[in-house]
Amino acid sequence: MSAVGRPSSLGFGLLLVFVTAGISGISTLVNAYAVAGTSSDAFVTVRNAVVALALVPAFLLATRRLRAPKLRAGDYGRLLVIGLVGGAVPFLLFFHGLQMATAAGGAATASFGYRSLFLFASVFALVYLKERFPWRAVLAASLLLGGNVLLLSLTTPLLTDGTAYVLAATVLWAAEYTLSKRTMRDLPSATVALGRMGFGALFLGGYLGLTAQWGAVSGFSGVQWAWVGISAGLLLAFVAAWYPGLKRVDVGVGTSVLVLGFPITWMLGTLFAGGTVLGPQALGGRGHPSRGGV
């Protein structure tokens, strides 16, 4: 039996995925504050570039330790697709939708569409990877998501103008996770993670150039750079936990666990609804980024 199939490896993978879910739940709330009043495109580009640079040492270490073979042309092709579909376009869509949805109903509302990721990912993995459909995991995730949706609907709107952007990003991430899972059969998870963030950052940088938005980066205030650092740290932790975890567990199971991030976002948003959190106010007095729940 391969290392990926051993119970100890599976257990470690599940642990990493649970950690990822916690990070994801926190990140959604933090990012709702982070992009308030700023260019989401410029913010995402700079943040993702920082994360890509931070992943380089892990890539070099993994390459040496695992004695990974040199990348072939086909490997670069897959990593380019992963970078575009997972590390560039969905981030632009998600953060644009996050700004719109947060203004309408809070970070939990913005997170609602993303938490349906497991449904798309399970279908993609069934078709492309021939994984068995994880009925139990999907049912449990659906019940958890459904219960939280009912709770959320009592206080905030579920569907906003930003929902379509978030859902579009979610479908792209589901496709990318499926392709990344397949690619990690041949390449280390650190290589795939760096390919996703590195090539993604290059695509994002090109997009900023084509749309003449680089000026927004030079106009970042000290507060905005602080948010870039905080958000980059969370994304780095997400990537560092998610890709090694995804390498060890099925796509459908792993993405089902990510639903746990939804109640975390909702609970934190409710806890900090009074404005007592050391967030924008402490860092420079920017206004509260949402109403009704965050």
Q: Look at the block and give the residue holding tokens 């905080």.
A: 230
Max Cα distance, the chain (Å): 56
Burial of 287 (0-12, 13-18, 19+ CB in 10 A): exposed
Alpha-carbon gap, residue 226 to 221, rounded angstroms = 9
Nearest C-alpha neighbor of 17 from the set 218, 249, 222, 194: 249
Alpha-carbon gap, residue 88 to 223, rounded angstroms = 24
CA pseudo-torsion sign 127, 129, 135, 137: negative
DSSP assignment of 233-290: HHHHHHHHHHHHHHHHS-HHHHHHHGGGHHHHHHHHHHHTTTS-SSSHHHHT-PPPS-
- Tokens at 5, concatenated: 């199939």
Q: Whole-angstrom distance between the N-terminal and C-terminal Cα of the chain?
A: 47
Nearest C-alpha neighbor of 194 from the set 51, 90, 19, 24: 51
Nearest C-alpha neighbor of 255 from the set 145, 98, 99: 145
pLDDT given for residue 110 in this prediction: 65
Q: Cβ distance 182 to 191 under 8 Å?
A: no
Q: Cβ distance 4 to 14 under 8 Å?
A: no
Burial of 10 (0-12, 13-18, 19+ CB in 10 A): middle
Alpha-carbon gap, residue 210 to 33, rounded angstroms = 27
Containing 95, the helix (H) or strand (E) segment is helix 89-105
Residue 164 phi, psi dihedral angles, 5° rounding: -60, -40
- Nearest 10 degrees: Cα torsion 97, 98, 104, 110: 100
Alpha-carbon gap, residue 69 to 63, rounded angstroms = 8
Alpha-carbon gap, residue 152 to 160, rounded angstroms = 13
- Tokens at 264, concatenated: 């975390």
Grouped pLDDT means (10 residues each) for the chain, 294 residues: 53 96 93 89 98 93 74 95 98 91 66 86 95 87 80 66 88 98 94 97 98 94 96 98 97 94 83 50 37 30
Residue 107 phi, psi dihedral angles, 5° rounding: -65, -35
pLDDT given for residue 91 in this prediction: 98
Residue 70 phi, psi dihedral angles, 5° rounding: -65, 145
pLDDT given for residue 68 in this prediction: 67
